[in-house]
Amino acid sequence: MNKDNIIKFPGLPAQEPLPAPAGPNQLNEDQQKAINCILSGMTFVFLGIKPTDSGADFFTALHGEPPDLRNAQEHLPGVIARLYDRKGI
């Protein structure tokens, strides 16, 4: 693991990311969907959440053309809310 890729928030110790599953056969449907979207070259906004004792650490990535990302930005809160609703959270 490249130590430069570990996010450290002020006042909190850096934590190693969780290890990835061993292979595609161990991924659930949502994990496989996320990987397929990324590998397809689709524009994406990624948000990984790692629970911590004090709340959560967030790991983010953004890919795509700026106009596409800007057009989608205002819709993201609603998309996330609908996802949580579908999952019963």
What tokens does 1 get?
């693991």
- pLDDT of residue 12 exceeding 80, the answer is no
CA 9 – CA 79 distance, rounded (Å) = 27
CA 58 – CA 50 distance, rounded (Å) = 6
CA 86 – CA 23 distance, rounded (Å) = 27
CA 34 – CA 20 distance, rounded (Å) = 13
The pLDDT of residue 1: 47
Query: Any idea which of 19-23, 32-36, 68-72 has the lowest mean pLDDT?
Result: 19-23
Neighbour tally for 66: CB within 10 Å: 8
pLDDT average, residue stretch 20-31:
75
